[in-house]
Structure formats: C-alpha cells, structure tokens
Amino acid sequence: MSKNSLPDFNNTELAFRHLSDKDLSRGKMLFQLLSRPWLVKLGSVLARIALFVKFPIGWAVRPTVYAQFCGGEDISDSEETIELLYRSGVRTILDYSAEGVDTEKELDSTCSEILKTVTAASNDPRHAFAVFKPSGLSHNDLLEKDPSKFTSLEKEAWERVVRRVRSICATTSEAGGSVLIDAEETWLQDAIDKLAEDMMTDFNRERAVVFTTAQLYRHDRLAFIKDLASRAEEGDYIVGVKLVRGAYMEKERERAEKNSYPSPIQVDKAATDSDFDLAVEFCLDNLDRVNLFCGSHNEKSNIKLCEMMKERGLSSDDNRITFSQLLGMSDPITFNLAAHGYNVAKYVPYGPIREAMPYLIRRAKENTSVAGQTSRELTLIRSEIERRKR
C-alpha cells in the first residue's frame, strides 16, 4: 500500500479484513436494528428499567451492542480487541468511562482504574493514549462552581480533584505516554479547560503529554484554540488538542433556552463544519506548537485532513498528528487510514456490562440520530458481505 496515496473509504476489503463473516453479520444485524428510531427508543427505555430493577441483561447485551462497541469487562478482557486492532495497524485508547460516580471513594477508585490504563499502555506499542473524563474524578457541582466561592470543605475536595488529575498526568509523562482530557458540557468546561491548561504548562515542556479537547460546535472554540496557542508560545510549552464537533448539542441548547442565556452552540451544522476545518488547518500550520488529535467519524473531515497533510508535505505517519474513531463505528475510515500509514487509534471503552449501559445507550442513539451515519455503515457492511461471496 503506497503511503503517498490518499485512502479510499469505500475500500471495504481493507476496512473489514479484521472481521470474520460472523462479525460482519452481527454488525449488519445491529446497524439494521439501530436504523429504526422507535426500536432504539424502546430498547433504551427497557434497558433503563432493567438496570433500575437489577434485572439481568448481560445475556442479551454481551453478544450484541456490547460486543460491537466495548472491548471487555476489564483491561485483560479487552486483550483480544487490542491485539485485533494492532494487527491492522490501529492502536488502542483504553477508555474507562465510569458514569454516575459520586462518593470520594468512587472518585478515587476511578482514578486508580485510569492509572491502570496508563500502566497498561506503558512500553506497549499497541496503545496510543490514555484518556479520562474529569467528571469521573470530581463532583459535577465542584466543576460547575466558581472556585472563589468554595467553602473550606469544597476547597479540600477540589485539592483532591487536582491531585487525581496531576497523578494521572505525571504517571503518563513518566511512562513516556500521552493523555487526553475529554470535553464535557459548557457549564463544567471552564474548570476543565483551566485544569488541562495547568497540566499542559507543567508536563508539555518537551513534547505533548497532555491533550485538552475543543468542541467545534461551540462558536467560541476556534478563538479559544488560537489563544491557547499564543499563551503556549509565551509560556514555551506545547499544546496538545483533540478536535471534536461535540456530543451534547441538544442538552446545551435546551439549557440555554430554559435559563435564557445565549446558546453556546453554532447556528447550524455548516458553521460547526467550517470551524472544524479551520481548527484543523490552524493546528497543521502551527504543528511545532500545537499537536493535533482529530476525533471524528466524518469522512470529509478525515479525507480533508489527509489532503491538507499532503499539501504541506507532511508524512502520513507524522507523530504530531493522530486520527481517531470509536470502537465499532466507522471502521472504513479507521482501517483505510491505517493501511495508508496514518497514526490512527480507536477509543476502546471497557467496564462491567451494567456500568457500560449508559454509554451503550448513547452509542445506540447517536447511530440513530446522526443522519446518514447508520445507513453508510450498513451499506458498506452489505457491500463487503457481497464482495466476499464473489
């Protein structure tokens, strides 16, 4: 495979060669089900009820949505997925997404689990980054509140949050790895941005260890990235930035309307797309100062990034640029990029089935609501099944 040619996301042979016929049939069945919004709605409600009354649902979930979108119940259970991806040149980002954690004990235990992912990734070329959601390490009300108004108990709790975040970043730095800090809702994000920038200032002196995240569905994020880069220039450190469009659009708009403040979200999809492209361009033009992690399932965005790299004479495996998709989604993008030598990694969520349910419900809804995404996945899977019959 020539490293200079651009990937073709319609190449289903390369896209799915890591999957058996059985895996493909499962994918086809699943995406067929996900293409029916009423079924996804009904399934989500039933799953929530089953979780609430502690009805065992593992038997139904494990071989279907869980097998599609999750690596395993713990790190060792995810081994098969990690190896399968790596054999096709795709690296893993172990994603322990604890949701609804509340007590200090639970927050500490999430931190320990994330540290395990850092250790697992250390000296193992199959892993790309570690990742965490700050809301798994802090109460949401602390992230939301203005620190100047903290009570003394809140101050202590916040110091524990900072200690958790710092221990993850320091351990990653010592292990020679990199860590992504996920972005969340705007009302939590100011605190997260500040934490991420503090960590970059401390750990990104020689290379990009810590990556912050910018959601380009926000109309203020392009300016945010540029400001971040100029502060990094002044402070002489490197910015790592994960660019995504953003996952909480409906929630953001509803809250803004309910509380009568201007929506932080762009006026339309075209405006989000345009800022996404401009942000990618800005990173590429400032690569020595800003390392780029592009998290997207959008074919145009991914191919545009490949084209922009080519125009600038950057090699496809430039280690300042990473592409990424979620496990079980957009394999044609991931595996065709890998076959052309790009740095590409999958988020591999893991955890006990019950704890993974909120994540799986979100994936099911996202695959239903993103116009064209499911039908695109389905079309390509069908065409590969037909190709294999020939």
* Interface with ligand FAD (CB under 6 A), residue from 68, 213, 336, 374: 213
Q: How far apart, in whole angstroms, are the C-alpha atoms of residue 96 and residue 98? A: 6
Give the pair of three-digit tokens for residue 57: 């649902």
For ligand FAD, what does the binding mask look like between residues 230 and 269, x meaning CB under 6 A? Answer: --------------xxxxxx---------------xx-xx
Nearer to ligand FAD, 129 or 237 (CB): 129
* Interface with ligand FAD (CB under 6 A), residue from 215, 286, 334, 368: 215
**Cβ at position 150, least distance to ligand FAD in Å:** 26
Q: How far apart, in whole angstroms, are the C-alpha atoms of residue 93 and residue 129? A: 5
The set of residues, in sequence order, having a beta carbon less than 8 Å from that of 189 and lying 6+ positions away, is 183
**Cβ at position 189, least distance to ligand FAD in Å:** 9
**Cβ at position 191, least distance to ligand FAD in Å:** 15
Residue 196 neighbours by CB distance under 10 Å: 26
CA torsion angle 87 364 185 334 (round to 10): 20
Q: Is 92 in the site for ligand FAD (CB under 6 A)?
A: no
Nearer to ligand FAD, 150 or 282 (CB): 282
Residues 154-193 that bind ligand FAD (CB under 6 A): 182-183
For ligand FAD, what does the binding mask look like between residues 283 and 302, x meaning CB under 6 A? Answer: ------------xxxx--x-
Q: How far apart, in whole angstroms, are the C-alpha atoms of residue 152 and residue 157? A: 9
Q: Which helix (H) or strand (E) holds 87?
A: helix 79-87
Nearer to ligand FAD, 87 or 269 (CB): 269
SS3 at position 315 = coil
Nearer to ligand FAD, 4 or 182 (CB): 182
Task: From 276, 340, 356, select the one nearest 90 (Cα to Cα).
Answer: 340
137 in Cβ contact with 111 (< 8 Å): yes
Give the pair of three-digit tokens for residue 317: 């495996």
Give the pair of three-digit tokens for residue 40: 């996804």
Residues 314-333 that bind ligand FAD (CB under 6 A): 324-326
Question: Contact positions toward ligand FAD, by CB under 6 A?
Answer: 182-183, 213, 215, 217, 244-249, 265-266, 268-269, 272, 295-298, 301, 324-326, 347, 370
